[in-house]
Structure 1
Amino acid sequence: MPAPRKYTSDPSRWPACVRCGSCHPASQQWPEGTVCFYCVRAARNCLGTCAAFGHTGILPGLDPQGRHVCIRCCDVPIEVQCKRCGEENLANDNNVCWRCLLSDRINKLLVGPDDAIPEGLQPLAQAIIGMPRPNSGWAWIHMNQRVPDLLRGLASGDIPLSHEAFDSLPRSRTVEYLRGLLVTHGCLPWRDEHLVAYDRWLAPKIDAITDAEQRKLVDRYTRWHVMRCLRGSSRQGPVTANSFLRAKQHTTLAIQFLHWLADRGRQLNECTQHDVDAWFGGGTSTRGHANNFLYWAIKQRLVRKIAVPWQPHGNGPLASEKDYIEALRALLLHESLPAAHRAIGIMLVLFGQPVSKIVTMRMDAFREGQDGLQVRFGKDWTDVPEPAAAVIRVHLASRPGLSTAANPDSPLAFPGRMPSRTMHVYSVATILRESDIPAMATRSRAWMQMARQAPPSVLADALGISPKTAMRYAERAGTDYLAYATLRWPTGVDEG
C-alpha cells in the first residue's frame, strides 16, 4: 500500500502526472511527460530485475508494456547510484543509499569511550549494517527511541554485555529483540528463555505462600522436580511453549492443593485417600493436573497409603468429514491467509501434526524427491501431494523475516519476528481458528483418516509419534489393527 501523501491532488495548481494521473507539486519533466514528486520517489525506490535487460537494481523506467526497466533501457533523468558509495541501491531523496545512512548511524551509536566500536559489539554492528533491507534497520532505529538509548548504553558500558544486565532493564519487546540480536550474532551466549521465564514467574508465586511448611514443599517440588524436568527437556532442544505452560499449571495446582488440604485441617503427611478422592471429585477437570505433584510426593515418601486416581486421556474435539474437506480447500485456495500459515495448516490437515511441532521444523526437514516435495516428521520421508506441495514451496522460497538482522541465515522453516525464534504456536493456532480451521479438531480427523489406511506402528515411525498415541487413534477410528504385531516403544518420543 503506498504511503499517504501530504498534498491532495489539485488540477488548478499542478499538471497531471503521466504515471499516477494525479496533480501534485514538485513535478519533473521526463521524456514520457510530467511526473509528480511522489512518482519520482517511487521510481528511485523501485528495486528488482529489468524486464528487458535482466539487470538487477533500481528500475525507474517503464517500457511500452508497462514493465519496469533499468536506467540503461530508458531515458529517465535520475541518478540511481549512491553518491557516497557508488552502489545502485535504495536511497533517500538526497541520493544517499540507506546502507550508507545506516552505517553512519550505527557507527555513531555504538562508538565506545575509545572512539571505536567495542570488540564484543562488532558482530552486531556488522549484522545490522549488512542486513538485506537496510532501510528497515534505519526505520527501526529512527522510529523507536528506545533502540538508540540501548545501543548507546551498550557502547558506553552503562549496560554491561550480559543477560543479567538485560534482565535488570524494564521488560519490553525492544529489550528482548535486541537481546535476541546479540545472541544470534554471538555477542551473548544462548540461553533457554522459557527456563528463565519459569524461574521469573515462580519466585513471586513462592513468596506469596504464607505457610512456611507449604512454601518449603513447593520450593522443593519445583526446584528438584519441575525445573529438573525442564532442564532435561532443554538438553534435547529449546523448551517448548507447551512444556513451559504445563510446568506453570503443575506448580499452580500443587499450591492450590496444599491450600485446600490446609483448609481441611491437614498437612501433606496427614493426607488420606479420602482427601485425594474429594479433591479430584469435587472440582473442575483442571484439578487433575495436581497428579504430577502427588506422584512426586508419593515417590519422595512425603505421603503414604494413597492412590492417585487414573486420569483418562480425553479424545478431544473431532471435525466432521465435511468440515475437514472444507478446511483443506480453504488452505489451498485462501487468498489473504499468509503462506506460512497455509503451509502449517496443510501439514496439520494432511499429516495430523500438532502446530507446536510444525513451527519448530527446520529447512532440512524438506527436500525435493523424485516424485516431488517430501517432508520428514519421524524416521521416514513422506511425499506431499500436489497442490499442497506448491503452497509449501511458496512459503519456503519466501520465508518472512529474513530481510532483517534477526534471521539472516535462519535454518528454521518458520522463523518468527523475534531473532532466532520460531513463530509463536498460540498465535498461529489463533489465526488458523479465525480462518475456520480449528487445530485440535482438524488434527484428530486427519489421524482418523490415516488410521484407516495404515497400521499404527507404521504411522508412528513415519509421523514421529509414539505407537501408543497411534493406537489410540486407531481404536477411535474403529479399525481392525488392534491385533497388529507388538508395537515398539522408542525412547524419548512424546506420547502426543
Structure 2
Amino acid sequence: MTQPDRILSDPCGTIVDMVARVEPDLTVEQIRDAVKQAAPSRTARRSLAKTLTADPALLTSRRPEGSRSVERLIHKLLAHGARQVAVPLCAGCGKPEPLPQRRGKLRVCAYCDATARAQQQPCADCGLPRVIRYTGRNGEGLCSSCQPKDNIDWAQRICDHIATVDPTVPAETVRQIITTITRGRPHYVRRLAWDLEDRPGMLTGNAGHGTPKVIALIDALRDAGAQAIVRPPCPHCGRTSVTLRNTLGDVRVCPTCYNTRKAVNCSRCKRRSPVARRSPDGQSICNHCDRTDPINHEECSGCGRLRPIIRRNSPTGPLCDTCYRPPVAICLLCGHARPCFGVAGGMPRCENCTRLREPCLDCGRTMPVKARTANGPLCETCFKKNPVSFKACTRCGTVERLRHHGLCHRCACNEELTALLAGPDGAVAAPLMQLHSTLMASNHVRVLDWLQKRNTAVSVLREIATAECSLDHESLDARTDKAVEHLRAILVAAGALPRRDEQLVAAERWIAAAVAAIADLSDRHTIQAFATWTHLTRLRKYSRRKPITAGQAVSARRSVKAAVGFLAWLRAEGLNLEAVGQRDLDRWLEGGPTTRQYARDLVLWAVRTKRATNISIPARLKNSPTQALDEDERREIAHRLLGDDQLDARDRVAGLLSLLYAQPFSVIIRLTADHVVVREKSVLLRLGKEPLELSPELGNLIQQIAADRRRDGQIGQIDAHWLFPGIRPGQHLSHITLAARLKRLGIRSLPSRTAAIRDLTAEVPAAVVNRLLGLSTSTATSWAKRTAKTSYAAEIARRSDSDK
C-alpha cells in the first residue's frame, strides 16, 4: 500500500507511527488516544496525517504552521507525558498561546489576530484601531467602549411587536423564547429587535431575508401555538414545511433547494449531486460515491466487517447500515410507526419512504433501490437472486443472505433470543431455555420477523425473563391480546407450560363474564347454578378424558345465552321461574327467533330441580336428510382431487375423505400420524376399530402429509402431531377453516357425506361400515334401510313403466 493510500485507509496508524519515532517512551495506546482526542473525525485524522507526512518536523520545531489539529495533538501528547514534542509559537508575538487564527500560511493567537483586524477596520464610532466587539444597527463595527448604550427594554419591544401580530401568546412565554434563542445576551436581543423593526412582515411570511435567530423565533412561536405567526416559505420552491437553514445570495432557502443549486456532476458516477468531498486532484465526489468508496470503509462494531459507517456514536461503536437499528417513530410521509431515520432532526422517515427509486439493473423496472453493485442498482427482488447478496456468516461461516450484524439467520436468531430471554444475571432460566430450543428449531426467518415486530408477546417474554411476570397460565390469562394466546401455544409446545383444555377454559371464562353481566342478583344465582350443574360439570368430566371440541363449547354458550334472555324476559313481564306457565313460555318462544329453543336446557333443569313446574320446550326436530351431492359432480371433484398436483395435499386428502368415506370435518382435523398404518404394499388409515386400506393415489397423499406435518413457517413447532396442523403450535386446524378451504373446491360437508353414506351403505353391511369408518351402527343401519327403500321404489317405478 502506498503512503497516500495509507493516509486515507489508516490515518490513525500513520500518525501513531510518526509520533512513535519522536516519542519512543509513549505506548501505542497513549498515542492513539491522543490522536482520537485531537482529531475526533476520520476527515480530521486524514488531514492531520497528510500534514505530518508532508512535514514531520512540525511536532518538534515549534513552527506555527499546518492545521490546528497539529497544535491540539501536541497538547494531548504532552498531557500523556511526551518530552520531545513542542508547542508551536505564535507568528505574531512568539508566545506559546493557542493559535486559532491564520495570517497567510502562519498561525497566530487571538490577540494578534484581533490587533491586525483592528488596524484594517477601526471602530466606526471613535475611529480608533480597536478590536471590533459589536455591530451597530446599520452593520457598522464598534469596539467595546462604543457599544450601543440605551435604557430600552429590547425584549419588551420584541414582545410588543409580536403582540401586534398575534396577541394570543402570553408575554411570559415570549420572553422565555427570546431568552432561549439569544442565550440571554443583550446584544443578541438588541439585534433581534432591530431585525423585526427594520424589516416589517418578518412574522407574517417574509422572513426569507431574515437572520437565523428570526427563523428560530418564528419556529418557537409556532410551536407555542401562535397561529397568526407564519413560517416563511422557501423563496425557491415555496414549501413552508421545512426550515430555511441555508443561504443563497441574500435569501435563506431550504436544504433541498440549496443542495440542488450547489450540485455539480460527480466525477465518478456522473450524477448531479452536492459535493461531499474532493479527490486529491480536486475532482468533486458525491456523498454516495464517498460512502461506497472502499477506502472510506471502517470496521463495524456490530458485524466486524469493513463497511460504510452510518452511525458513530452508538454505545457499541461505529455501525454499518445493516447493523444500525434506527428508533421507532411516526414517519412524516406515510404516517406509520416504524424504525425511522432523521428522528433527532424532527423529520422522521421510514426506510420505505427514504429509499430512492431508480431503474433496476436486471429487470429494468423503476423500483426502490435495495442494493448497489459495481454495475448499477438492484431492486429487492433482483438483489435476492443475485449472487452478490450471498455472503459468509462472520460467526459460523454459512454462506447465505445475511440477516444483520454480519450473521446468518440462525446465528442472528440465537443471538436475539438469548438477549430477549436472559435474566438480570445474563443467564437463561431452564423453562425459557426449553423455549429457546423450540424456537431455534423453527423457521429462523419467521422467528426473527416475529421478534422484530415487538408485539405484546415479545414484551411478555421480556417480563417473564426479568421475573416481572410469572411463567404460568394465570399470569397469561390476565392479558387479553391474541398475540399472548399464540405465545401460550408456543410455551405449551416447548414444554415450558403444562397443557390444558383451552376450549374448556374459554367456555368457563365466557360463562363467568355472562353471569357477572346480569343485573338482577336472583337471576345471576339461577344462571350460575344452571351453567355449573348442566354444562360446566359435564364439560369438565368430558375434559378429563380428552379436550372438548369447539362445537361442545359453542353449544354450552348458546344454551346459557338463551337462558339469560329467557330470565330477562320473565323479569320484564313481572314473572319468575316459579310463576311462569306453559302459555307464557309459548308466548316467549313464538315472539322471537328460533334460537330461543336453546333455552330447553334451562327449562329441563328448572323442572328437575323443582324451580318450575308444568312447563316444557319440545326437542328440536331433526332436519330432513340433506340433499346429496350430485353423483356426476361428486365423481368429477374426486377425480380432480386425485389428479391435480397444483392443489394443496391436505385439501385433497380432506376432500377425498369427505367425498369417499363420509368423514365429518371435525373427525378429519383430529387425524394424527398414529392413524396412518404403512405396510409393504399398501397404506391404511384407522378411522374405525379396524384400519381401512386406501387406494394407491390417496395412500400416497396420506404418506406425503404424514411425512411433512410441520406447518410451513410456523413458530414454535418442532414435530406436529396432527396431519392437519393449525396456525398455533400443538393445535390442529379448526373445522371452520377446513370448511372454508374445501368450499372453494366445491365441497360441503353434509351434501358430500350424504352422497358417500348412501353409496357405502348400499354396497357394504352396516357392521362393516361401523368397523372401518367409525360411523355408528345405528346411523349406518338407518341409511341402509333408507337406501333400500329408495332402491325398491325405483325398481317398482321401472316395472310400472315396462308394464305400460
Alignment TM class, shorter chain as reference: 0.7 to 0.9
Of 743, 747, 752, 1:433 maps to 743
- Aligned-partner Cα distance in 2 for 1:127–1:405: 9
Q: 2:708 matched to which residue of 1? A: 398
* 1:295 alignment partner AA: L
Q: 2:509 matched to which residue of 1? A: 200
- Aligned-partner Cα distance in 1 for 2:739–2:399: 42
| Offset, 1:365 | 0.5
1:424 aligns to 2:734 (yes or no): yes
- Aligned-partner Cα distance in 1 for 2:771–2:790: 19
Of 493, 499, 512, 1:184 maps to 493
1:219 aligns to 2:528 (yes or no): yes
- Aligned-partner Cα distance in 1 for 2:678–2:473: 41
SS of alignment partner, residue 268 of structure 1: coil
Q: 1:106 matched to which residue of 2? A: 417
- Aligned-partner Cα distance in 2 for 1:430–1:293: 33
- Relative to 1, partners in 2 of residues 1:269 and 1:178: Cα closer, same or farther, differing over 3 Å? same
Q: 1:174 matched to which residue of 2? A: 483
Q: 1:64 matched to which residue of 2? A: none
Contact 1:402 1:408 in 2 (8 A): no
* 2:446 alignment partner AA: S
* 1:237 alignment partner AA: K
* 1:136 alignment partner AA: R
Q: Which moved more, 1:208-217 or 1:98-107?
A: 208-217
1:348 aligns to 2:694 (yes or no): no
- Aligned-partner Cα distance in 2 for 1:105–1:350: 49
- Aligned-partner Cα distance in 2 for 1:327–1:279: 46
Query: TM-score if structure 1 supplies the norm length?
Result: 0.77
| Unaligned residue ranges in structure 1 (runs of 5+) | 45-59, 61-76, 483-496
SS of alignment partner, residue 353 of structure 1: coil
SS of alignment partner, residue 684 of structure 2: strand
- Aligned-partner Cα distance in 1 for 2:777–2:607: 29
* 2:529 alignment partner AA: R
Of 757, 776, 783, 1:466 maps to 776
Pairing of 1:108-123 with structure 2 (within 5 A): 108-123=419-434
* 1:291 alignment partner AA: R
- Aligned-partner Cα distance in 2 for 1:383–1:452: 19
Q: 1:237 matched to which residue of 2? A: 546
Query: TM-score if structure 2 supplies the norm length?
Result: 0.49
SS of alignment partner, residue 408 of structure 1: coil
Contact 1:340 1:395 in 2 (8 A): yes
SS of alignment partner, residue 374 of structure 1: strand
* CA RMSD of superposed structures (Å): 3.4
Contact 1:402 1:409 in 2 (8 A): no
- Aligned-partner Cα distance in 2 for 1:455–1:291: 37
Contact 2:390 2:400 in 1 (8 A): no
Of 718, 732, 749, 1:408 maps to 718
Q: 1:26 matched to which residue of 2? A: 372
| Offset, 1:179 | 1.2
1:323 aligns to 2:599 (yes or no): no
Contact 1:379 1:461 in 2 (8 A): yes
| Unaligned residue ranges in structure 2 (runs of 5+) | 1-351, 793-804
Structure index of larger Rg? 2
Contact 2:559 2:599 in 1 (8 A): yes
- Deviation per CA, 1:386-415, whole angstroms, max 9, x where unpaired? 433333333333334265442211211111
Q: Percent same amino acid among aligned pairs?
A: 27
Q: Which moved more, 1:173-182 or 1:291-300?
A: 291-300
Of 109, 121, 125, 2:436 maps to 125
Q: 1:157 matched to which residue of 2? A: 467
| Offset, 1:417 | 1.0
Q: 2:396 matched to which residue of 1? A: 85
- Aligned-partner Cα distance in 2 for 1:369–1:276: 60
SS of alignment partner, residue 578 of structure 2: helix
- Relative to 1, partners in 2 of residues 1:233 and 1:402: Cα closer, same or farther, differing over 3 Å? farther
- Relative to 1, partners in 2 of residues 1:38 and 1:347: Cα closer, same or farther, differing over 3 Å? same
| Offset, 1:258 | 2.7
Q: 1:442 matched to which residue of 2? A: 752
SS of alignment partner, residue 613 of structure 2: coil
- Aligned-partner Cα distance in 1 for 2:557–2:791: 38
* 2:524 alignment partner AA: R
Contact 2:600 2:616 in 1 (8 A): no
- Aligned-partner Cα distance in 2 for 1:338–1:79: 31
Contact 2:603 2:615 in 1 (8 A): no
- Aligned-partner Cα distance in 2 for 1:160–1:86: 38
Contact 1:407 1:415 in 2 (8 A): no
* 1:380 alignment partner AA: E
- Relative to 1, partners in 2 of residues 1:317 and 1:279: Cα closer, same or farther, differing over 3 Å? farther
Contact 1:455 1:481 in 2 (8 A): no
- Relative to 1, partners in 2 of residues 1:317 and 1:231: Cα closer, same or farther, differing over 3 Å? same
Q: 2:14 matched to which residue of 1? A: none
Contact 1:378 1:463 in 2 (8 A): yes
SS of alignment partner, residue 575 of structure 2: coil
Contact 1:474 1:481 in 2 (8 A): no
| Offset, 1:100 | 0.9
- Aligned-partner Cα distance in 2 for 1:39–1:320: 46
| Offset, 1:465 | 3.1
| Offset, 1:281 | 5.6
| Offset, 1:439 | 1.8
- Aligned-partner Cα distance in 1 for 2:647–2:410: 32
| Offset, 1:271 | 3.8
Q: 1:374 matched to which residue of 2? A: 684
Q: 1:97 matched to which residue of 2? A: 408
Contact 2:409 2:445 in 1 (8 A): yes
Q: Which has the higher contact order (CA 8 A, sep 6+)?
A: 1
- Relative to 1, partners in 2 of residues 1:100 and 1:390: Cα closer, same or farther, differing over 3 Å? same
SS of alignment partner, residue 700 of structure 2: helix
1:143 aligns to 2:489 (yes or no): no
1:477 aligns to 2:787 (yes or no): yes
Q: 1:51 matched to which residue of 2? A: none
| Offset, 1:184 | 1.3
- Deviation per CA, 1:335-369, whole angstroms, max 9, x where unpaired? 66432222222211111111112111111111223
| Offset, 1:21 | 8.6
Contact 1:379 1:464 in 2 (8 A): yes
1:455 aligns to 2:800 (yes or no): no
* 2:430 alignment partner AA: E
Contact 2:710 2:719 in 1 (8 A): no
- Relative to 1, partners in 2 of residues 1:198 and 1:39: Cα closer, same or farther, differing over 3 Å? closer
